[in-house]
Chain A
Amino acid sequence: MLKLDGCVIENGGFALQADFTVEAGASVAIVGPSGAGKSTLLEAIAGFRDLKQGQILWQGQSISNLAPGKRPLAMLFQDGNLFPHLTVEQNVALGLRPNGRLSSEEQSQVETALARVGLPGFEGRKPAELSGGQQSRVALARVLVQRRYLLLLDEPFAALGPALKAEMLDLVAELLAETGTTLLMVSHDPQDARRIADQTVLVADERAHPPAATVQLFDNPPPSLRAYLG
């Protein structure tokens, strides 16, 4: 269970308040007007931003003071999810061993993960030789070998076309189901939220509201969400 306990996150001019819990294994979309603080919220959970107040707990343990890499989570950013000068295999391997060489057993884990995301035999390629969708798959393969409890997505598929984005979200949903990972996902698109997330956090008016059931929320939106959806 992820708990944001009385959190206040400052970002330049505004302070975002967040006080809610997310059940382990849940898939949660984070929606709201642009500039409302969706990414700020994710960055705070991932450890790229300090909390002004409150703390973040995972399974009852505070993780607020851990460095980003020590938190029980993996994160994909809007861009720059792969190191362009490293091969596909090296990029995925960083999920297992960020600072060293792989054992042969770990080596085969990398190959298995690449096969799972549909890229068997792509080990030696460089990211520039891959399509946008294939690059996303490599990043997901790395998430797989990282074996973290939480996955944070800050719109990593935003640059893909609608069909490809849907394909990626379906792949993410499959991987989540196989591993029991909890998902927090920023999105601009209500369709994304409906597709993959059973719950939705609305970020508006300097507040991250507690998760609500996605279908009900979008079918019967509160005023701030209605203004955003238009």
Chain B
Amino acid sequence: MAERAQPVSPWPGVGAAALVAALILGTLAAVALRADAAGGFGPADWAALRFTLVQAVLSALFSAALAVPVARALARRRFFGRRALIALLGAPFILPVIVAILGLLQVFGRAGWISDILSFFGLPPIRIYGLHGVVLAHVFFNLPLATRLLLQAWQEIPAERFRLAAQLGCDGMAMFRLIELPMLRRILPGVLAVIFAICLTSFAVALTLGGGPRATTIELAIYQSFTYDFDLGRAALLSALQLALTAAAALAALKFSRGDGFGAGLDRAIRRWDGGVPVLDTFWILAASAFLLLPLAAVVISGLSGLFEMPALVFRAALTSVLVAAASTAVLLMLALPMAMAVATGRYGIVELSGILGLAASPLVIGTGLFILIRPFANPTALALPVTALVNAVMALPFALRILVPAARDVVTRHGRLALSLDMDKKTFFARVLLPRMRPQIRFAAGLAAALSMGDLGVIALFADPQIATLPLQIYRLMGAYQMQAAAGAALLLLVLSMGAFWLLDRGGRLHAET
């Protein structure tokens, strides 16, 4: 196509990418320089490393193993509410971690629903704190992700394969071995690697359900050396270790998620002739739905009764969260949109690279680095909210780019030549063609960024002093003070705010979308 003239300028995007790279690499350098290597790793640090790896491996294994029957059931059954259920599988991505944890506590906790049932039969209650609690929460978040990835792979198997297998007389098990097992062998390593990488940087889950010497992740250890010991050297050393881990895991995830496809099909609607056992599929679908919906229902139920017990602090924190989310969304769009445009011109792969840098660095590592960088010049606590908004934006950047880049590329290829031949300038192309054409994707990215920032409990915990809090942090503090009613009410408020922000930005865009 066009080899020289472009209707958009790549330079703002290159500038934005340079800023992001400077922020991430700068904070990493600060961490590396400040790391107290002389101290070396103590037994507690090794324990944190071991726990981080063990919980991530277990979380990945359980999520993927349970996702296989659920995805298979969803792939071969058609039933009322199937689309809604698949849409629901996307919800945990923007669900605030602290909200999910309150819901899980309500269902699986010591005083939760299942423990109540057990005590009715005279059995002891479940203990949710520790390794199994952390893994349970991670499975709650990642089972839907694994199911969606597998379901997609299942649906990409050409219908012709199933027709051929049915014609050859393959029954359920033979069909599984012939068609589905090879697909799983190809897809599962990538799924495992992605979930493993996600769970490595788990902070909020470990903060609330883990803790203690036997259940501390590296992220949590970074936080603890900050808040309990104020040992920046150790925090930096742990950050360096965390960085090596996440970078290796991100590379592995990228490597494993490649693979050959199944060959092309003619896109026939998939029809399956292997009946299998409907009861089994029904069981898996119901079990997965219950596992996802019960904690959410618990948040709503206990939150409604707690709504009137919330202290005024909660409302101040909610306002803070809304402002941080709005700022974070604005920053994200100012970075992501120019970067997507630069990538769309086709010559700036380096921009894309700087966009995914955020995947390799964890929020707490960037937070630690920023703390080290800011401290000589200003009081980091005073900058808690701007820093949170900025780090949230950088963390949302890889996802935003995945949404925006294909759309920007499409608009530039489809309409770029016409705009050039009409002598349209870059500013007009941006305002009259690019923005209106990309509105749904921009809205979607903004909705994700707002919801992620609203629910984030990460950097803010490092920087905040007792006077200042976002809503997730306030909920955590209420939990710590055993004000569970108020925490439940605040969690419901946070759920409404996160989902509401996403819905308003994303759906609002669809309502006004021009065709």
Q: Is the CB of B423 within 8 A of A84?
A: no
**How big is the B interface, by class?**
20 to 34
**How big is the A interface, by class?**
20 to 34
Q: Is the CB of B414 within 8 A of A68?
A: no
**Could you tell me the distance between the alpha carbons of A193 and B228 in the complex, rounded to whole angstroms?**
83
Q: Is the CB of A49 within 8 A of B421?
A: no
Q: Is the CB of A98 within 8 A of B422?
A: yes
Which segment, of B118-126, B196-204, B432-440, faces chain A?
Answer: B432-440
**Could you tell me the distance between the alpha carbons of A99 and B433 in the complex, rounded to whole angstroms?**
11
User: 0/1 per residue, B414-456, Cβ < 8 Å to A?
Assistant: 1101111111110110001100110000000000000000000
Q: Is the CB of A69 within 8 A of B423?
A: yes
Q: Does A85 sit within 8 A of B, measured CB to CB?
A: yes
Q: Is the CB of A81 within 8 A of B418?
A: yes
Which segment, of B1-9, B280-288, B331-339, B399-407, faces chain A?
Answer: B1-9
Q: Is the CB of A83 within 8 A of B415?
A: yes
**Residue on A with the closest CB to B515?**
A128
A-side contacts of B1, CB under 8 Å: 48
Q: Is the CB of A98 within 8 A of B428?
A: yes
A-side contacts of B260, CB under 8 Å: none
A-side contacts of B414, CB under 8 Å: 80
Minimum CB–CB distance for B206 against chain A, Å: 47
**Residue on B with the closest CB to A126?**
B515
Q: Is the CB of A83 within 8 A of B515?
A: no
Q: Does B514 sit within 8 A of A, measured CB to CB?
A: yes
Q: Is the CB of B420 within 8 A of A50?
A: no
Query: A49-B3, A50-B4, A68-B5 are contacts. A77–B422 as well, Cβ < 8 Å?
Result: no
Q: Does A226 sit within 8 A of B, measured CB to CB?
A: no
**Could you tell me the distance between the alpha carbons of A68 and B423 in the complex, rounded to whole angstroms?**
7
**Could you tell me the distance between the alpha carbons of A81 and B422 in the complex, rounded to whole angstroms?**
11
B-side contacts of A84, CB under 8 Å: 515
**Residue on B with the closest CB to A69?**
B423
**Residue on B with the closest CB to A46?**
B421
A-side contacts of B4, CB under 8 Å: 50
Q: Mostly helix, strand, loop or mixed at chain A's interface?
A: loop
Out of B2, B421, B436, which one reaches A69, CB within 8 Å? B421
Out of B415, B420, B436, B515, which one reaches A68, CB within 8 Å? B420
Minimum CB–CB distance for B180 against chain A, Å: 39
A-side contacts of B436, CB under 8 Å: 85
Q: Does A227 sit within 8 A of B, measured CB to CB?
A: no
Q: Is the CB of B423 within 8 A of A98?
A: yes
Out of A48, A85, A99, which one reaches B2, CB within 8 Å? A48
Q: Does A75 sit within 8 A of B, measured CB to CB?
A: yes
Out of A80, A81, A85, A99, which one reaches B425, CB within 8 Å? A99
**Could you tell me the distance between the alpha carbons of A83 and B1 in the complex, rounded to whole angstroms?**
19
**Could you tell me the distance between the alpha carbons of A70 and B421 in the complex, rounded to whole angstroms?**
8
Q: Is the CB of B514 within 8 A of A85?
A: yes
User: 0/1 per residue, B337-376, Cβ < 8 Å to A?
Assistant: 0000000000000000000000000000000000000000
Q: Does A95 sit within 8 A of B, measured CB to CB?
A: yes
**Could you tell me the distance between the alpha carbons of A83 and B433 in the complex, rounded to whole angstroms?**
8
Out of B5, B422, B423, B515, which one reaches A85, CB within 8 Å? B515
A171-224 residues with Cβ-Cβ distance < 8 A to B are: none
Query: A69-B423, A80-B414 are contacts. A50–B428 as well, Cβ < 8 Å?
Result: no
Q: Is the CB of A67 within 8 A of B420?
A: yes
Q: Does A30 sit within 8 A of B, measured CB to CB?
A: no
Minimum CB–CB distance for A100 against chain B, Å: 8
Out of B5, B415, B424, B432, which one reaches A80, CB within 8 Å? B415
B-side contacts of A85, CB under 8 Å: 433, 436-437, 514-515
Q: Is the CB of B5 within 8 A of A67?
A: yes
Q: Does A164 sit within 8 A of B, measured CB to CB?
A: no
Out of B423, B427, B428, B515, which one reaches A67, CB within 8 Å? B423
B-side contacts of A24, CB under 8 Å: none
Q: Is the CB of B423 within 8 A of A77?
A: no
**Could you tell me the distance between the alpha carbons of A126 and B417 in the complex, rounded to whole angstroms?**
20
Minimum CB–CB distance for B418 against chain A, Å: 6
User: 0/1 per residue, A99-115, Cβ < 8 Å to B?
Assistant: 10000000000000000
**Could you tell me the distance between the alpha carbons of A68 and B433 in the complex, rounded to whole angstroms?**
18
B-side contacts of A46, CB under 8 Å: 421
A-side contacts of B428, CB under 8 Å: 98-99
Q: Is the CB of A50 within 8 A of B418?
A: no
**Could you tell me the distance between the alpha carbons of A76 and B434 in the complex, rounded to whole angstroms?**
20
B-side contacts of A48, CB under 8 Å: 1-3, 5, 417, 420
A-side contacts of B427, CB under 8 Å: 99
A-side contacts of B425, CB under 8 Å: 98-99
**Could you tell me the distance between the alpha carbons of A69 and B420 in the complex, rounded to whole angstroms?**
5
**Could you tell me the distance between the alpha carbons of A49 and B340 in the complex, rounded to whole angstroms?**
24
**Could you tell me the distance between the alpha carbons of A69 and B419 in the complex, rounded to whole angstroms?**
8
A-side contacts of B2, CB under 8 Å: 48-49
Q: Is the CB of B424 within 8 A of A99?
A: yes
B-side contacts of A70, CB under 8 Å: 423
Q: Does A37 sit within 8 A of B, measured CB to CB?
A: no
Q: Is the CB of A74 within 8 A of B515?
A: no
Minimum CB–CB distance for A56 against chain B, Å: 15
Given contacts A68-B423, A80-B418, 11 further A-B contacts (CB under 8 A): A48-B2, A48-B417, A48-B420, A50-B4, A77-B418, A80-B415, A83-B415, A83-B418, A94-B422, A98-B423, A126-B514
11 interchain pairs, CB-CB under 8 A: A47-B420, A48-B1, A48-B2, A48-B3, A69-B421, A69-B422, A80-B418, A94-B422, A98-B419, A99-B428, A126-B515
* Residues on B facing A (Cβ under 8 Å): 1-5, 414-415, 417-425, 427-428, 432-433, 436-437, 514-515
